[in-house]
Structure 1
Amino acid sequence: MKILSLLVLLCAFLVLTQTAELGKAEAGPGEEQAEAEAIEESHVAKRAVYCPSGWAKYGSRCYYYVSASYTWAQAENYCVSQGGNLASVHSAGEYSWLQSYILSRTRGYPMTWIGGSDSEQEQYWFWSDGSRLSYRNFCAGMPRSNTGLNCIVMNASGCRCWFDYPCSYRYPFVCVRK
């Protein structure tokens, strides 16, 4: 009796397997592609931008303001430890949002480190995240060609523009991550 039950179960399994394979063959390539696209879409949804607690989202990136005063290198190191870099700014809109974000966190416009530097070669500015420094918001007369002024601080002067300052100065900072 046990052998007979085992054979019945085996036959049922084979019939179900063949039926499933036949159904796939009859479905045609269009339905298989639709199924593959549905699977791919579910993976895309998982890649949507999610900002960790305490971080703020703007566009496709997340920002985090740190009120503690660090040197530029210490601030960059901290941001890297959080999975990002000091903030890079790529448009006037993004800069305006960043200023508003800092205002919401501090109720003011404190001078704040961002990721710009020309420490590798004077007057060749770059962002610490490796992106191109194409948007600039330096104050009048900035950047200066003094070799000791290699890091960008934002919200400088009444214009709240950028100064190049010694990287050893201590300021709060903003991290960014994708």
Structure 2
Amino acid sequence: MNDSAEGRVQQLGSLGYLCHGLGPFVLQLFCLTLSTILLLAILVKVSNVAYSHGQEQAKKEKVYKEMTQLKSQINRLCRPCPWDWTVFQGNCYFFSKFQQNWNDSVNACRKLDAQLVVIKSDDEQSFLQQTSKEKGYAWMGLSDLKHEGRWHWVDGSHLLFSFMKYWNKGEPNNEWEEDCAEFRGDGWNDAPCTIKKYWICKKSAMSCTEK
């Protein structure tokens, strides 16, 4: 109850006190009527306050519902990968539109907060090999620049023996100081790192799940 309502209660009490000593019936009836009117005014005021509070609560609930719906819509619009990137099994891949040498390809991926692609599974290899066949020979993040014949990925990991099967027949042969690996045809080939080729970057996909 606000100050106005409390004031009316006090007025009602004072009126009752003044009317208590009056004898004539007309005056008592008059006081009773005034008391009734004042009481009704207090009840109306209290009712309005309660109604306003109910409206405010309803507005808050409506806003919360709209925010929840908006969040759901935003999540449906969420892209796990940037535009021009392709998502595959939780990772994002960027296939370049122009060619450059291996070192420049490594740096280009770093500028995109990614790595020249490091292959971690047979499924990933199959996906990248097929895509490179469609787009053109492309660099991967594999080289033996530090030590001839010892192939390492750009993240420092060794080339697993189980992945050796992906070299094309007779490769790697280091025929012309070929220290960097590319996707070529149905498998891998070693090539001079200075040759310009397409390149593929890789980074983890973003999560679009609600928290």
Per the TM superposition, whether the score is higher than 0.5 is: yes
Contact 1:88 1:115 in 2 (8 A): yes
Is 1:162 aligned with 2:198? Answer: no
What value does the CA root-mean-square deviation take over the aligned residues? 2.5
Alignment-derived partner of residue 172 in structure 2 = 143
After TM superposition, the structure 1 = structure 2 runs for residues 83-162 of structure 1, keeping only pairs within 5 Å, are 83-102=113-132, 108-134=134-160, 135-136=163-164, 137-146=166-175, 148-156=177-185, 160-162=186-188
- CA drift of 1:62 comes to 1.0
Alignment-derived partner of residue 75 in structure 1 = 105
- CA drift of 1:96 comes to 1.2
Larger Rg: 2
Alignment-derived partner of residue 36 in structure 2 = none
Question: Gapped runs of 5+ residues in structure 1?
Answer: 1-48
* 1:18-41 per-position Cα deviation (integer Å, ceiling 9, x unaligned): xxxxxxxxxxxxxxxxxxxxxxxx
Residue 161 of structure 1 aligns with an amino acid whose one-letter code is: G
- CA drift of 1:133 comes to 1.9
Residue 99 of structure 1 aligns with an amino acid whose one-letter code is: Q
Quote the Cα distance in structure 1 between the aligned partners of 2:131 and 2:82: 16
Larger strand fraction of residues:
1
Contact 1:149 1:165 in 2 (8 A): yes
% same residue: 27
Contact 2:179 2:191 in 1 (8 A): yes
Q: How many residues align?
A: 126
Quote the Cα distance in structure 1 between the aligned partners of 2:89 and 2:168: 26
Q: 1:140 to 1:101 in 2, by over 3 A?
A: closer
- The TM-score, its normalising length taken from structure 1, stands at 0.63
Q: Which segments of structure 1 move beyond 4 Å, counting only runs of 4 or more? A: none
Q: 1:147 to 1:169 in 2, by over 3 A?
A: closer
Alignment-derived partner of residue 30 in structure 1 = none
For structure 1, which segment, 126-135 or 58-67, has the greater mean C-alpha deviation from structure 2 after superposition? Answer: 126-135
Larger helix fraction of residues:
2
Contact 2:141 2:153 in 1 (8 A): yes
